[in-house]
Amino acid sequence: MQLTNLRWSELVRRDLGRLRPARADEADELSGLAMRSKSHWGYSPGFLEACRAELAITPEKLGSGVTVADLDGRIVGFHRIEGSPPAAELAALFVDLDMIGAGVGGALLRDALSAAAERGIRRLVLDADPGAEPFYARYGAERIGQSPSGSVPGRVLPHMRFELG
């Protein structure tokens, strides 16, 4: 049986999938996963290369609260929250290509929202990839404007907000 054919909830039920804090030695692995995930939207190699520095997960970024989705020892996704109450940013949420559509992204987002609320964060903002805007909207984010891309001059991204209470 291929594990990637199962939904995340089933993998968790079988004790094969879990969310856990990232380790310091996983920064390079997470950076590679972010690049692979970004490629899901069909961007050109040049565009992806322009995004590399912004998507890189450094050991310093790991200290800001990175949670990984671990599938039987393999990282298949992660989220990163940056900031402190009352407002913070969902600075990253990426899922590896073969797990997109399996529920990993939803599990990571629900975990990020819960973790933020537990930390006393009342507003969680993010700059979404335009292709991912409907995903965040399904979970209650509203578009509140647009932000300039940190990687590609002239490109703008949907600026979105979750109100957590």
Q: What are the sequence ranges of the domains in the chain? A: 3-163
**Burial classification of residue 35, based on how many CB atoms lie within 10 Å of its CB (0-12 exposed, 13-18 middle, 19 or more buried):** middle
| Phi–psi pair at 163, nearest 5 degrees | -95, 120
pLDDT value, residue 87? 96
Low-confidence ranges of the chain (pLDDT < 50): 1
Q: Which residues contact 79 (CB under 8 A, 6 or more apart)?
A: 66, 67, 90, 92, 93, 94, 108, 109, 111, 112
Q: Which CATH class is domain 3-163?
A: alpha beta
pLDDT value, residue 1? 44
Full-model pTM:
0.92
Q: What is the DSSP letter of 1?
A: -
